[in-house]
Amino acid sequence: MCGIVGYTGKRRAGPILLDGLSRLEYRGYDSAGMAVRDGNKLAEVVKATGKLIHLADKTDQGRALEGTCGIGHTRWATHGDPSLVNAHPHVSGNCTGSASGPVESEVVGVHNGIIENYAELKEKLLRHGYTFYSDTDTEVLVKLVDYYYNKYKIGPVDAITRTMVRVRGSYALGLMFQDYPGEIFAARKDSPLIIGTEEDASYLASDVPAILKYTRDVYYIENLQVARISPGHVSFYDLNGDERSLPLTTITWDASAAEKEGYEHFMLKEIHEQPEAVQNTLNSLAAEDEIHLEEAGITQEFLAGLREVDIVACGSAWHVGMAARVLLEDLAGVPTRVELASEYRYRSIPTQDDTLVVIISQSGETADSLAALRAAKERGAATLAVVNVVGSSIAREADHVIYTKAGPEIAVATTKAYSAQLIVLYILAIALGAAKGRITSEQKAGYIRELRTIPDKIRRILEEKERLQWFSSKIVNAHDIFFIGRGLDYAMSLEGSLKMKEISYIHSEAYAAGELKHGTISLIENNTLVVGLLTQSALYEKTLSNMTECKARGAYLMGITPNGNFQVEDSVNFALYIPRTDEHFFPSLAVIPLQLLAYYTSVNRGLDVDKPRNLAKSVTVE
């Protein structure tokens, strides 16, 4: 979840590191730090607590640091509280670890991940004369590298591989050695790490946006590999120290996609980018009235042979799965389970070779989802990854992969990636229904044509955002909000509730509307906001009845429903109308006002929309 950057070349490293960290701050913003080497001089380490601006001020925007080789880090705290002493980089020398200036230390390092056996390793190092200044597992990791490097008088690559064999957990690691000026060493297990190159410089980063300004040519370092990075050159090694070759990938994203481009926040920009994300994803999977999944290795025969689908995901991606289940069972008649990845990996779920396990992850690096993917493969199931990042771990390890075309998503709260994931699952459900003979060619073509209308309908909703901005000002002081619905509407309620709580910090919950009377309605008080989703015609009256039961107990009601259902105004306090579409596809439309409501509520509360407290974009640790 933390962000790592590195640079070695001919230019001053400090400003480049700081620029890269600014594009990774969504990965963590408890503290930040940099270590820069100037030739054979000692590394200069500077740290600051809080957001990156404090490190920028402390280093004169990075210009105060001499040297052309360095590593940087922005932290999401795991081991040890957010403090100066626990901030990265960490050093192997016996110093305070918090003072700015030159640090006499053999090894300096930054780390993203969790070392599970760090306490055991710390005891070992204490017995060998090491002392510790922080509460972090990272300091243990850096000092273990130093221990092997000095005890066995071996090179950095061998010292790192010995360490990798000894530690348990996940890590992306960037290191500098005092004896190797101008070089950076990196290693990874499960946590993401990429390396970019140009003619006379090389870059290290946790994610593409950090280096997209400087190069589009990147290597995705593989699991349990080490990289030796010098200006314009990278070598890769396996755990035996044998050199390996990796393919160079060219990033096709437009660099402007990682900029705000005049929007106040990335989240608002990404909400407005959803029509394009939906259109691009749909175009990549369907042409005219036909679906094309051959690039993912998914054939009609493969689909026809499936008897069950398991969808495994976390957070908003899990909500996509909850909506997709309705379509897969309705259109394809295939039993579908939706599992939280953090639960799936620890359950003994019976799985056959005619089961398709779909792993949904924006980053393709979500720790629990990656572990669930590996568990599914061990159980003999076919696996399909739905991810947004080319070359990510989940994409590489799955049997099949479909990429969403959302482009880089910077705000912690997902919007456009969620919408693109919905499109992929719609297409999968339609293709599976056709392969199973549950829907005709004409019906399939009709569904595809209807999906092509979704982008324009999203734009029409966005044109009415001022009403939601006004409404959010009325509910900005709410203490509790309940989102309710049935069927697909319940799946949308889950996402609406998550969006509200994660960026506005208002307590919110989602409930299947029919479950209210089984306990939850006891929480309704005067002016409690209840947001009802009313898009499914067969369930409309039942959900509206549940809402009016809440109103009778003092609740304030908001209803989201298709155009034409104007009678809803007789029952709710505030009604929002969305364009009509096939009822299977309403999640793509109803989610837009839910996103906007959460966004404007957060803004009206004066909060940091893009970087909500305690959260990070990519959850790469368990």
Residues 590 and 492: beta-carbon distance below 8 Å: yes
CA max distance for the chain:
80
Residue 360 · residue 320 · CB < 8 Å: yes
Please tell me the distance from the alpha carbon of residue 87 to that of residue 611, in angstroms, as a whole number: 18
One of 47, 457, 611, 617 is an active-site residue; which one? 617
Contact in structure between 550 and 582 (CB atoms under 8 Å): no
Asked if omega into 89 is within 30° of 0 (cis), the reply is yes
* Contact between residue 277 and residue 407 where contact means Cβ atoms under 8 Å apart: yes
User: What DSSP line would sit under 560-619, residue for residue?
Assistant: EEETT-GGGGGT-SEEEEE----GGGTHHHHHHHHHHHHHHHHHHTT--SSS-TT--SS-
Name the CA radius of gyration of the chain, rounded.
25
Q: Give the number of other Cβ atoms within 10 Å of residue 335's Cβ.
A: 13
To which residue do tokens 């400090």 refer? 14
Burial group, residue 515, by CB count within 10 angstroms (0-12, 13-18, 19+): middle
Which backbone phi and psi does 40 adopt, to 5 degrees? -85, 0
- What is the DSSP-derived secondary structure letter of residue 170? E
**Core vs surface per residue 281-305: b (16+ CB within 10 A) or e:** bbebbbeeeebebeebebeeebbee
Collapse the DSSP code of 359 into the 3-class scheme (helix H, G, I; strand E, B; otherwise coil) and give the result: strand
Distance CA 451, CA 419 (A): 12
Which candidate in 2, 69, 314, 550 is catalytic?
Answer: 2
Alpha carbons 101 and 35: distance in angstroms, whole number: 9
CA distances (Å), 48 to each of 29, 40, 85, 116, 221, in order? 10, 25, 9, 26, 29
Rounded distance between C-alpha atoms, residue 364 and residue 551, angstroms: 43
Active site residue 269: no
Pairwise CA distance, residues 36 & 57, whole Å: 16
Residue 118 one-letter amino acid:
Y
Question: Of 101, 106, 45, nearest to 73 (Cα)?
Answer: 45
DSSP H or E run through 90: strand 90-91
Active-site residue, 2 included: yes
Segment holding 336, helix H or strand E: strand 336-340
Q: Which amino acids are annotated catalytic?
A: 2, 617
